[in-house]
Amino acid sequence: MAAGWRLPNLWDAAAFLCVIGALVAVGHVARGTLTRIDAPGATQITLDPLNLPAYAVRTTLRMFAALAASLLFTFTYGTAAAKSRRAALVLVPVLDVLQSVPILGFLTFTVVFFMSLFPGQVLGLELAAIFAIFTSQAWNMAFSLYQSLKTVPADLAEASASFHLTAWQRFWKLEVPFATPGLVWNTMMSMSGGWFFVVASEAVSVGDNTWTLPGIGSYVALALAKKDLIAVGWAILAMLAVILAYDQLLFRPLVAWSAKFRFETTAGATASDPWMLRLMRRTRLLKFAGERVGDATSFIGGLRLSFGRRPRSATAPEPSRTVDIAWIALLALTMAAAVWRVVLFASQSLDWADVETATGLGLITLLRVVVLMIVASLIWVPIGVWLGLRPEWARRAQPVAQFLAAFPANLLFPPFVLFIVHFSLSPDIWLTPLMVLGTQWYILFNVVAGAAAFPGDLKEVASNFRIGGWLWWRKVMIPGIFPYYVTGAITASGGSWNAAIVAEVASWGDTKLQAHGLGAYIADATDKGDMSRVVLGVVTMSAFVVLFNRLLWRPMYAYAQRRLTLG
């Protein structure tokens, strides 16, 4: 039973002042979103480091607004894809397409829409930037929840049926707790993924139109354009401070809290609670409020809502194949109509030679993605397992991994450009490592989540039978983390294609290097305002990603569901 109400103490006073101070700062900075675009200073950026705190708050607010939208999307879209077989026929391929569309592709088509909602106001640009950041966060989280819901252990599902839980109760009492550890780690990865593309979301150029929003991303873009290394250094420090702050105040307590949802029957390795969690427990007011929120959540999750669905008896007929065939035919017709619309739009200024060019450049980018996926897997899977099995070390590495995952590739342009130019190297080869910034972290974070959720009783069994070496990897750990790895690999491959937009074109002042690839093709078409080639590049990239997922990752994912889940 929750503790009763007790009078606030000194810790409560300190926490109250901090909360009020944060709200005042957020309110002060957020006022800039309600001004007009042509107002003095509304969209103007300076390299004065004194402005960086306000820029950091603006960027952080956009990140968390996008994160809230991503969570809403995850619990609706991901759940629908996992629960409905017919809906999954649409939602899963659409999710593959959405994660393959580069952020510049979204910005090209959405900036005008959001600006038309609030004509002449900064709020329209803010919504466009938030939506762009949302597109770099949501897909990873949706895949995580989808994977967890599809791989709930059979014995837990049988237990929920034995207790006669409704679909609503099963979701909140079993499936969401089971998905929580992986979802928390993927939420951290999504937050870092938003930082990776924050430059593109805050400093947008489409044709002759350029908009900038006060923030760390636009500050970085201006510093790179002016070759101001000192300003780049200030931006890195500001970004590091923000990441450390929300890691300590939010994600570190969340990771510690999510550890209690691990699926195991024996005591596993645990780490001491983070200082923020201990501090919240000392503050009577926050502790009381948290307990009330927990009680309300538990009550809502325990409601016996059934949504009018009845369990199908053993003698009930199987779902009609005629309905399935009609549904698939409808999807095929809808897809054909969408493809026909794209062809009509692109054919006005393009021919088959342009399609061949885009396809050839897509094959070059595909080769880069495959090589980086192999290298990233060989490096980060062992490291992720090691960290996941050692919670204390995982928490120590957590802020470092978040910072490295959030580090924008643009900040590495100066050394890469100078290095390539000085030694007369090929941009096609030496710009490729920049893409790994959008690849490796999805794998690392998912593998850490999978290893952390690995049941302690299975580890004890392997230890008692003295299973070690390659046999331990092949028979114990790889089967245990495989669904998590596949989820990370799917989002990693999509992240790599998105990173190609940034990595295949690098500039430092007036010096610009461009590698051959589909990312450079889309970036160049966006800069020129060539909408036909932007559409062609985005469609080609989406086709490559969907085919790659369908031919490789989806079969591996289905294998993980059939053979490698627990229970």
Phi, psi of 496 (to 5 degrees): -65, -40
Confidence of residue 409 (pLDDT cuts 50, 70, 90): low
Q: pLDDT digit string (tens) for 160-189?
A: 888 888 888 888 888 888 888 888 888 888
Q: pLDDT digit string (tens) for 492-521?
A: 887 788 778 778 887 766 777 888 899 889
pLDDT at 263: 60
| Tally of CA atoms within 13 A in the half-sphere of 427 that contains its CB | 18
Class of domain 10-36+53-262+270-307+350-563: mainly alpha
Q: Specify the long-range contacts of residues 10-17, CB closer than 8 Å, at least 24 apart.
A: 11/279, 11/282, 11/283, 11/284, 12/283, 12/284, 12/285, 12/286, 15/279, 15/280, 15/283, 15/285, 15/286, 16/285
Confidence of residue 2 (pLDDT cuts 50, 70, 90): very low
Higher pLDDT residue, 485 or 313? 485
Does the structure show a pLDDT above 60 at 214? Answer: yes
The three-state (H, E, C) secondary structure of 273-318, written as one string: CCHHHHHHHHCHHHHHHHHHHHHHHHHHHCCCCCCCCCCCCCCCCC
User: Distance (Å, rounded) from C-alpha 16 to C-alpha 6?
Assistant: 16
Closest CA to 4 of 245, 209, 288: 288
| CA 213 to the chain's CA centroid | 22
Does the structure show a pLDDT above 60 at 80? Answer: yes
Write out the two tokens for 413.
């342009």
State whether residue 449 is helix, strand or coil: helix
DSSP state for residue 62 in the 8-state scheme: H
Confidence of residue 3 (pLDDT cuts 50, 70, 90): very low
Helix (H) or strand (E) holding 83: helix 79-83
pLDDT at 430: 85
DSSP, residue by residue, 208-227: TEEEE-SSHHHHHHHHHHTT
Confidence of residue 383 (pLDDT cuts 50, 70, 90): very high
Does the structure show a pLDDT above 70 at 42? Answer: no
DSSP state for residue 392 in the 8-state scheme: H
User: Distance (Å, rounded) from C-alpha 448 to C-alpha 452?
Assistant: 6
pLDDT at 390: 84
| CA 175 to the chain's CA centroid | 20
What number of other Cβ atoms are within 10 A of residue 330's Cβ? 11
Domain locations along the chain: 10-36+53-262+270-307+350-563
Phi, psi of 50 (to 5 degrees): -65, -20
Confidence of residue 11 (pLDDT cuts 50, 70, 90): low
Return the ∠ at Cα 126 (arms to 122 and 129), rounded to 5°.
140
**514 with 427: CB under 8 angstroms?**
yes
User: Distance (Å, rounded) from C-alpha 344 to C-alpha 346?
Assistant: 6
Mean pLDDT of 109-137: 82
Closest CA to 144 of 178, 113, 108: 178
User: Distance (Å, rounded) from C-alpha 59 to C-alpha 129?
Assistant: 10
pLDDT at 75: 93
Average pLDDT of the chain to the nearest whole number: 78
Does the structure show a pLDDT above 90 at 363? Answer: yes
Mean pLDDT of 317-327: 64
Mean pLDDT of 73-77: 93
Higher pLDDT residue, 406 or 105? 406
520's CB contacts (< 8 A; 6+ apart) are 361, 500, 504, 505, 514
**562 with 154: CB under 8 angstroms?**
no
Phi, psi of 513 (to 5 degrees): -115, 140
What number of other Cβ atoms are within 10 A of residue 17's Cβ? 10
44's CB contacts (< 8 A; 6+ apart) are 212
Percent of the chain as helix, strand, coil, to the nearest 5: 75, 5, 20
Write out the two tokens for 222.
């201006």
448-to-140, 152, 494 alpha-carbon distances in Å: 15, 18, 20
pLDDT at 410: 64
| CA 331 to the chain's CA centroid | 27
pLDDT at 1: 43
Return the ∠ at Cα 237 (arms to 233 and 243), rounded to 5°.
140
Mean pLDDT of 125-144: 86
Q: pLDDT digit string (tens) for 216-269?
A: 888 888 888 788 889 988 988 998 888 888 888 888 888 878 877 766 544 555
Confidence of residue 378 (pLDDT cuts 50, 70, 90): very high
Confidence of residue 306 (pLDDT cuts 50, 70, 90): low
Confidence of residue 68 (pLDDT cuts 50, 70, 90): very high
DSSP, residue by residue, 508-519: ETTEEEE-SSHH
To the nearest whole percent, how much of the chain has pLDDT over 70?
81
pLDDT at 362: 92
User: Distance (Å, rounded) from C-alpha 91 to C-alpha 159?
Assistant: 29
User: Distance (Å, rounded) from C-alpha 1 to C-alpha 280?
Assistant: 18
Higher pLDDT residue, 462 or 49? 49
Phi, psi of 10 (to 5 degrees): -65, -35
